[in-house]
Amino acid sequence: MSFPKVNPTQTQAWKSLSTHFQEVKYLKMQDLFTENPKRAQQFSLQWKDFYIDYSKNRITQTTLNQLLQLAEEVQLKDAMEAQFTGEHINETEDRAVGHTQLRNFKNLPKEVSETLQQIQNFTQRVIEGDWKGYTGKKITHVVNIGIGGSDLGPDMVCEALRYYKNHLEVRFVSNVDGDHVMETIKDLDRETTLFIIVSKTFTTQETLTNATTIRNWFLQEASEGDIAQHFAAVSTNLEAVANFGIASENIFPMWDWVGGRFSLWSAVGLSVACAIGYHHFEDLLKGAHEMDLHFRESDFSENIPVVLALLSIWYNNFFEAESECIVPYSQYLNKLVAYLQQGIMESNGKSVDRNGNPIDYQTGTIVWGSTGTNAQHAFFQLIHQGTKLIPTDFIAFKKSLYGNEDHQNKLLANCFAQTEALLQGTHGSEVENSFKVFEGNKPTNTLLIETLTPKSLGSLIAMYEHKLFVQGVIWNIFSYDQWGVELGKKLAKETLSAIEKKDVSSMPNAATKKLIQQLK
Ligand code: F6P
């Protein structure tokens, strides 16, 4: 079976959708709800602890049927199987895409289960205080040094699962901004801090610079021989890690079949396992695996990632929506959007199709957002009354973790009320003047999950991973490379050399030359 390469705009479904769009684009959801008392039931999904309400979308059953037909015509099922069975679907890098294998507990690859065992042993020793620093003290702080996928996932999950945390304080340093690294380490005690350098390639400028600065800082008081008790690393580039001076027993492997932005489930999650303990980390993986099974085995019409992806295509390619918003009603999830931005935008920001041809339709959704209710007091005005159509995902948990009912009721009331306001607007009610008119008819999905646990978080993240994969398949792009980012990295090296040598002659652009000359 080979990875399908179908131009979506050439399918029958796309043509039908284009015609259908002209017929339904002005339909009011308010009317659709009035006409169909079963709409809420018809356009909702229940899966384990997840309830997904997608009835507040500008769709009819015909829209959904045609979108599902599109999924068939682009051979989504074959594409999914190609991914799950380890075909080299990342063709431009000739790699398999195996992040789901990292959490496939019924059939873990040998190297994965060995690494999980290594994570378990390591984190247990650190958490229980058996791991001692160079003066014999227990570890109290862990610092993750990494960027992009080697930072965003672990950082987001540590924040999201704070409730499940142990006594270890885990920090993250990512930016090559020297002030960031100094602020992160300035109050740390070298004797009780463990540094985890995370870099798939171990060539990333930011991470190696930060790691070297921290190593030098450490050596101001400790000796080379003490590094083994305070530095660990996660990478595919075992040779470079060894050259950096990391003891072999502190090196955790990664594999080229795991993309950086999907690597949280590998040893890249070591800092997560330190923060919440191995068994919670395993639950996170198990939650993701449950979503993998749901994605792989459910009919498309019942399939949460597929349905969400199709709705997103509907707005992106037919309504020409410019972006999508994600608003979790949980402060714990305040880093979720930044994490998803890398996953979604680094994957699907492509303009050449899988046949190597330039694309003449829109790909890659722009995603943005922040937590509710804060977001209501920031950018919601634009979603309500601005000129842009911004489909929004609302994510909420039925129960809070500390059980404060008063707060939780208010939080959920706001969440539901916003989707209602976006739907209804001032439709059918008297308003004093035109400035107070809300058109309504703004699409939303509401994801209502029982409670925030490692498992439900794992499922939620995996849901968005699969959603972006489905969209990439439909757009006929390769979602698992990131050549655009690579070019920036190359140019940064050349620019650095010009800045260091105070010589701009090699710089091709006059404006950039001038910028560099300002530094003198
Ligand atoms: O930003 C590009 C990128 O390659 C990401 O895909 C990756 O997560 C990040 O850089 C960090 O890379 P590495 O883990 O190799 O340091």
How close is the Cα of 486 to the center of ligand 1, in Å? 9
| Residue 354 contacts residue 91 (beta carbons within 8 Å) | yes
CB atoms within 10 A of CB 16: 17
CATH code for residues 8-95+298-350+358-427+436-481:
3.40.50.10490
Active-site annotation holder among 489, 501, 502, 514: 489
Give the closest residue (by CA) to ligand 1 atom 9.
148
DSSP string, 81-107: HHHHTT---BGGGTB---GGGGG-TTS
Nearest to 331 by CA among 415, 261, 390: 415
In 10 A of CB 92, how many CB atoms?
A: 13
Alpha-carbon distance 164 to 455, whole Å?
A: 12
**377 is an active site residue:** yes
Other CB atoms within 10 A of residue 492 CB: 13
pLDDT of 1 above 80: no
**pLDDT tens digits, residue range 177-228?**
999 999 999 999 999 999 999 999 999 999 999 999 999 999 999 999 999 9
Q: Are 198 and 251 in contact (CB under 8 A)?
A: no
Residue 174 in contact with ligand 1 by CB distance below 6 A: no
- In the prediction, which pLDDT does 432 show? 87
Q: What is the CATH number of domain 104-282?
A: 3.40.50.10490
What confidence tier does 429 reach under pLDDT thresholds 50, 70, 90?
confident
Q: How far apart are CA 265 and CA 197, in angstroms?
A: 16
The β-bridge partners of 395 are 328, 447
Quote the ligand 1 centre to 474 CA distance (angstroms). Answer: 25
Q: Which of 95, 204, 486 to mutate to test the pocket of ligand 1 (most atoms within 8 A of CB)?
A: 204
In this model, does residue 242 exceed pLDDT 70?
yes
Q: Is 111 a catalytic residue?
A: no
Buried b (16+ CB within 10 A) or exposed e, 163-195: ebbeebebbbbbebeeeebeebbeebebbbbbb
Ligand 1 binding pocket mutation candidate from 147, 238, 255, 483 (most atoms within 8 A of CB): 147
At residue 416 the predicted structure's pLDDT band, cuts being 50, 70 and 90, is: very high
Return the DSSP state at 165. Answer: -
Q: Out of 106, 377, 490, 493, pick the active-site residue.
A: 377
Q: Hey, where are the domains in the chain?
A: 8-95+298-350+358-427+436-481, 104-282, 486-517
266 lines ligand 1 (CB under 6 A): no
Q: Which atom of ligand 1 is least distant from the CA of 147?
A: 11
Is there a shared CATH topology between the 8-95+298-350+358-427+436-481 domain and the 104-282 domain?
Answer: yes
CA distance 520 to 517: 6
Question: How many Å apart are CA 472 and CA 462, to the nearest integer?
Answer: 15
Question: What span, in angstroms and rounded, lies between the C-alpha atoms of 472 and 255?
Answer: 23
- C-alpha 49/C-alpha 455 separation (Å) is 10
Cβ–ligand 1 contact at 482 (below 6 Å): yes
Q: Are 393 and 327 in contact (CB under 8 A)?
A: yes
